[in-house]
Amino acid sequence: MRTAYHEQLDALTNQLADMCRLAGLAMERATQSLLQADLVLAEQVITDHDQISTASARAEEAAFVLLALQAPVAGDLRAIVSSIQIVADVERMGALALHVAKISRRRHPQHALPEEVNGYFAEMGRVAVELGNSAREVLLSRDPEKARRIREEDDAMDDLHRHLFTVLMDREWKHGVAAAVDVTLLGRFYERFADHAVEISRRVIFQVTGRLPEEEEIPTC
């Protein structure tokens, strides 16, 4: 019976890892849509979001079934409770990619981004996809050291986000309020995507060690 339980737990972990893959792919496509004003890619991200929502519901249900029927204790209980929290983190990552795609679609056929910030968002997109992939690898490997290194990758995103604001605050900004609002929102979406990847890594560390690393508050959006 315990063998079946651990097989179910492994299956849940694989579901979460696949959700990370889907979220990273969504952000990759959303970024391409944003940079290229590609309506087809934007629509694909919006349509494919249902896959993440469906996977999220299935993973959450699987976790609650394990919690209700197996009466886990200690490490197993940590694993299941953390998995439920990770479901929410990955689902939010997918939703943030969706927000990026929706802005791209709303501004089509124009580009949502002024040309001078394209480089920032190309790099933020690259870092976001790497963080999604790293979160997936950490879920599968359960390696606390790899999980801790995700924080360093997140620092790169934070630096890009800060530098983006120097462009927005420059007196030479000539693209108006609407573009400034879009850039501000988009920058926030990428930053939060990265933050949720960091939270996944923290939860994996908690699963393995029983201790939650001291960091910022768990994101709520």
Separation of alpha carbons 137 and 157, rounded Å: 19
Mean pLDDT of 18-32: 97
Say whether pLDDT at 106 is over 90: yes
- Whether 102 maps to a domain, the answer reads yes
pLDDT above 90 coverage of the chain, percent: 73
**Residue 220 falls inside a structural domain:** no
Q: How far apart are CA 211 and CA 204, in angstroms?
A: 10
Span 122-152, pLDDT tens digits: 999 999 999 999 999 999 999 999 999 998 8
In a domain, 93, yes or no: yes
Whether residue 217 lies inside any domain: the answer is no
Count of the separate structural domains present in the chain: 1
Cis status of the peptide bond prior to 109, with omega within 30 of 0: yes
pTM of the entire predicted model? 0.91
Residue 215 lies in a domain: no
Is residue 205 assigned to a domain? Answer: yes
Is 112 inside any structural domain? Answer: yes
* Other Cβ atoms within 10 Å of 121 Cβ, number: 22
Query: Can you give the pLDDT at residue 219?
Result: 45
pLDDT at 216: 44
The whole-number pLDDT of residue 221 equals 52
Query: CATH code at 131?
Result: 1.20.58.220
Domain extent at residue 171: 2-209
Only one residue has tokens 């934070």, namely: 158
Give residue-wise pLDDT tens across range 35-82: 999 999 999 999 999 999 999 999 999 999 888 877 777 778 888 889
Residue 219 lies in a domain: no
The candidate with the shortest Cα–Cα distance to 181, out of 103, 97, 92, is 103
- Give the pLDDT confidence of 199-220 residue by residue, as tens digits: 999 999 998 888 877 654 444 4
